[in-house]
Structure 1
Amino acid sequence: MSTIEQFGYRQELQRSLGFTDLMIYGLIFMVPIAPFGIFGNVFSVSHGMVALAYVIGLVAMAFTALSYAQMAKAFPMAGSVYTYAGRGIAAPVGFMAGWAILLDYVLVPSLLYLVASVAMNSFVPLIPVWAWLAAFVVLNTVVNYLGIQMTARITRIMLAAELVVLAIFLVVAGVALAQGKAQTGALTPIFDSSGFTFSVVFAAASVAVLSFLGFDGISTLAEENREDARRLGRSMLAALGLAAVLFVTQTWVAALLTPGRDALIADGDPAGNAFYDTAAYAGGPWLAVLTAVATAVAWGFANSLVAQAATSRLLFAMARDRQLPAFLSRVNAKHKVPVNATLAVAAVSLVLGVFMSTRANGVGELASLVNFGAMSAFLVLHVSVVVHYTVKQRSTNWWAHLVAPVIGFAVLVAVVYNQNVAAQWVGGVWLAIGLAILGITYLIGRKPTLPTEVS
């Protein structure tokens, strides 16, 4: 098995995770019930073809997962796309890829905490949103500080709980369909000729793809994987495949039962209650409460727990290479976790989450920016595969090292092109800032470099 010492690093994190741990981590990061929280938005943008939007999102992410698997095999270390682009193409490109995906990784914990805190505030209004948010941040920071094994144990429990809630919804919804409560034809959620256009479904996919983000977080745990590097890529593909089955199934069933379809398509779902209204229609108020509370706990605790862990590993990897402040690379000697990076993520999540809670569409704005950062970094990932394997290594595995990444790149371009315009502008500004920082490092003689690989 390749070791990070071959690439000029010391093994500081604890190698304790196996294939199942990694797959569960990815599933929890994606959240098996993730569509509960954004169902109404995807339904509106897709003109009711919500299952089709998730299928297209799966296609985009499947090709991306294939590229991740190839690069994880070549460079089995923390840092995700930052490492892969930096070593597969060049260090400056790696910095920009890392800078792009920071927009995803740094913002996603804030997004998750905010969604969960708003949901909990709706049930217990006496406790303000900011207090719920602070409680979630403190709880997850403590668990992550105690080590990756503690995080792995917690994620197994949370995954089981989410799957139980999903099973209850599907059973109750199945009974409702058998009783004749369907609001539309069986195939409408996958294709409706009256509303289908490519721009509509790709715009919807750009929202639905938020549910898939997280499988890539597995790559940040490369230095905590105790098995062969190839298992890392396989765990990504396995997690993505299982999540896709769950996402398409639950959104298809929910779309068949959604009341007020025309109004939802025309007016959107600003309150984010469309799925819970559907649950209430299918099984009664108790099912609406169950699914809403499950969403809050899944996003605010389980998902944000692993998101914080992934983000801290990315910051650790970039700081270790002197592309972020060095204090972020400090590893706790007892728990073998990047302690300062973990605390930094907690602080940013708390401040940004509280600030965005004061904005009218804070959740929507954060979600759009998270997607833009991820998609931009994934585009560079596909290029990294082609450059590293086909150009540098002269690989003749044309499917894995040329055709698949080119197809994945093309699909992502279509998704990014149809994203929210405001997110495109803000994301563009973020990338411009990254370019400016990169330029400054060259001017002061500290251009990005990576430790030399040793044989």
Structure 2
Amino acid sequence: MSTVEQFGYRQELQRSLGFADLMIYGLIFMVPIAPFGIFGNVFSISHGMVALAYVIGLVAMAFTALSYAQMARAFPMAGSVYTYAGRGIAAPVGFFAGWAILLDYVLVPSLLYLVASTAMNSFVPAVPVWAWLVAFVLLNTVVNYLGIQMTARITRIMLVAELAVLAIFLVVGGVALAQGKAQAGALTPLFDSSSFTWTVVFAAASVAVLSFLGFDGISTLAEENREDARRLGRSMVAALGVAAVLFVVQTWVAALLTPNREQLIAEGDLTGNAFYDTAAFAGGPWLSVLTAVATAIAWGFANSLVAQAATSRLLFAMARDRQLPAFLAKVHPKHRVPVNATFAVAAVSVTLGVFMSLRDNGIGELASLVNFGAMSAFLMLHVAVVVHYMIKKRSRNIWAHLVAPAIGFAVLVAVVINQNVAAQWVGGVWLAIGLVVIGVSYVVGRRPELPTEVK
């Protein structure tokens, strides 16, 4: 098995995670009930073809997962796409890929905390959104500070709870459909000839992919994986496959039971409660409350817990290579976690989360930016596979190292083109700033470099 020492690093993080731990981590990061929180937006944009939007999202992410698996075998270390693009192409490209995905990783905990805090505030309005947000951040920071094994144990418990809630919804929804409560034809969530266009579908998929983001977070735990590097890639593919089935099934059932369909399509999900209204229609107010509370806990605790862990590992990897401030590379001597990076993520989450809570569409703005950052980085990942394997290694595996990355690249381009225009502009500015940072690094004699591989 390849080691980090082979690539010029010291093994500092604790190798304690197996295949099951990694797959569960990925599932929790994606959140099995993630569509609950964004169902209304995807329904409106897709004109009711929610299941199709998730299928398209799956196609985009499936090819990306294959590329991740290939690069994880070649470079089994923390850093995700930053490491893969830097090692697979060149260090400056790696910095730019890392800079792009920072827009995803650094913002996603803030997004998760904000969604959860808003949901909790709707139940307990006496406690303001900012107070819920601070509470979630403090709780998760303590858990992550205590070590990756503590995080792994808690994620197992949370996964079981989320799957239980999902099972309850699907059973109640199935009974409702059997009782004749369906508001649309059985195939409408997958295809509606009266409103289908590729622009509509890809625009909806650009939002739906938010639910899939997280499988890639598994790659940030490469230096805590105790098994062969190939297991890392397999756990990503497995987690993505399981999540995709759950996403398509739950959105199919929900789309069939959605009341006031035409109004939701025309006006959008103004309150963010479309899924919970559907749950109430299917089974009564108790199901609405159950699914809403489950969403708050899943996004605010379980998902944001692993998001904070993944983000801290990315910051650690970039700081270790002197591409971010060195203090972010500090590892706690007892708990063996990147402690300063963990605290930094917590600070950003509180600051940005509270600020965005004061904006009218803070959740939507954050979601769009998170997706743009992830898609941009994934594009560079696909290029890295081709460059590393086909050009540098002269690989003969045409499917895995050329065709699959090319298809994944093309699908992602279609998704990015159909993203929110504001997100494209802000994301473009972020990438431009990254180019400026690289240029300044060259001017001051600190061009991005990576430790030389030990033969």
Aligning the two structures, in what range does the TM-score lie when normalised by the shorter sequence?
over 0.9
State the alpha-carbon separation in 1 of the partners of residues 196 and 349 from structure 2: 38
State the alpha-carbon separation in 2 of the partners of residues 48 and 108 from structure 1: 26
Alignment-derived partner of residue 31 in structure 2: 31
State the alpha-carbon separation in 1 of the partners of residues 411 and 175 from structure 2: 37
State the alpha-carbon separation in 1 of the partners of residues 277 and 445 from structure 2: 58
Alignment-derived partner of residue 380 in structure 1: 380
Alignment-derived partner of residue 193 in structure 2: 193
Task: Please list, as runs of the form range in 1=range in 2, the aligned pairs for 1:79-94 lying within 5 A after superposition.
Answer: 79-94=79-94
* SS in structure 2 at match of 1:287: helix
Alignment-derived partner of residue 183 in structure 2: 183
State the alpha-carbon separation in 1 of the partners of residues 184 and 325 from structure 2: 55
Alignment-derived partner of residue 8 in structure 2: 8
Alignment-derived partner of residue 161 in structure 2: 161
Letter paired with 2:174: G
Alignment-derived partner of residue 295 in structure 1: 295
Task: Please list, as runs of the form range in 1=range in 2, the aligned pairs for 1:54-453 lying within 5 A after superposition.
Answer: 54-453=54-453
User: How far does the alpha carbon of each residue in 1:303-344 deviate from its partner, in whole angstroms, 9 at most, with x for none?
Assistant: 000000000000000000000000000000000000000000
* SS in structure 2 at match of 1:403: helix
Deviation, structure 1 residue 42: 0.1
Deviation, structure 1 residue 259: 0.1
Letter paired with 1:61: M
Letter paired with 1:159: L
User: How far does the alpha carbon of each residue in 1:391-446 deviate from its partner, in whole angstroms, 9 at most, with x for none?
Assistant: 00000000000000000000000000000000000000000000000000000000
User: How far does the alpha carbon of each residue in 1:93-131 deviate from its partner, in whole angstroms, 9 at most, with x for none?
Assistant: 000000000000000000000000000000000000000
State the alpha-carbon separation in 2 of the partners of residues 34 and 330 from structure 1: 33
State the alpha-carbon separation in 2 of the partners of residues 435 and 254 from structure 1: 43
* SS in structure 2 at match of 1:183: coil
State the alpha-carbon separation in 2 of the partners of residues 271 and 447 from structure 1: 47
User: How far does the alpha carbon of each residue in 1:50-84 deviate from its partner, in whole angstroms, 9 at most, with x for none?
Assistant: 00000000000000000000000000000000000
Deviation, structure 1 residue 271: 1.0
User: How far does the alpha carbon of each residue in 1:167-225 deviate from its partner, in whole angstroms, 9 at most, with x for none?
Assistant: 00000000000100000100000000001000000000000000000000000000000
* SS in structure 2 at match of 1:448: coil
State the alpha-carbon separation in 1 of the partners of residues 175 and 66 from structure 2: 38
Q: Which runs of 5+ in 2 are unaligned?
A: none
Deviation, structure 1 residue 350: 0.3
* SS in structure 2 at match of 1:449: coil
User: How far does the alpha carbon of each residue in 1:1-33 deviate from its partner, in whole angstroms, 9 at most, with x for none?
Assistant: 100000000000000000000000000000000
Sequence identity percentage: 87
Letter paired with 2:98: G
State the alpha-carbon separation in 2 of the partners of residues 249 and 25 from structure 1: 21
State the alpha-carbon separation in 1 of the partners of residues 121 and 198 from structure 2: 38
Deviation, structure 1 residue 368: 0.1
With the length of structure 1 as denominator, give the TM-score of the two structures: 1.00
Deviation, structure 1 residue 231: 0.1
State the alpha-carbon separation in 2 of the partners of residues 370 and 12 from structure 1: 29
Deviation, structure 1 residue 270: 1.8
Q: Which runs of 5+ in 1 are unaligned?
A: none
Letter paired with 2:408: G
State the alpha-carbon separation in 2 of the partners of residues 333 and 270 from structure 1: 48
Letter paired with 1:90: A
State the alpha-carbon separation in 2 of the partners of residues 284 and 446 from structure 1: 61
State the alpha-carbon separation in 1 of the partners of residues 176 and 323 from structure 2: 55
State the alpha-carbon separation in 1 of the partners of residues 425 and 57 from structure 2: 22
Deviation, structure 1 residue 299: 0.1
* SS in structure 2 at match of 1:135: helix
* SS in structure 2 at match of 1:12: coil
| RMSD (Å) for aligned C-alpha atoms | 0.2
Misfit runs of 4+, over 3 Å: none
State the alpha-carbon separation in 1 of the partners of residues 356 and 317 from structure 2: 28
State the alpha-carbon separation in 1 of the partners of residues 195 and 238 from structure 2: 33
Alignment-derived partner of residue 52 in structure 1: 52
User: How far does the alpha carbon of each residue in 1:355-389 deviate from its partner, in whole angstroms, 9 at most, with x for none?
Assistant: 00000000000000000000000000000000000
* SS in structure 2 at match of 1:422: helix
* SS in structure 1 at match of 2:73: helix
* SS in structure 2 at match of 1:451: coil
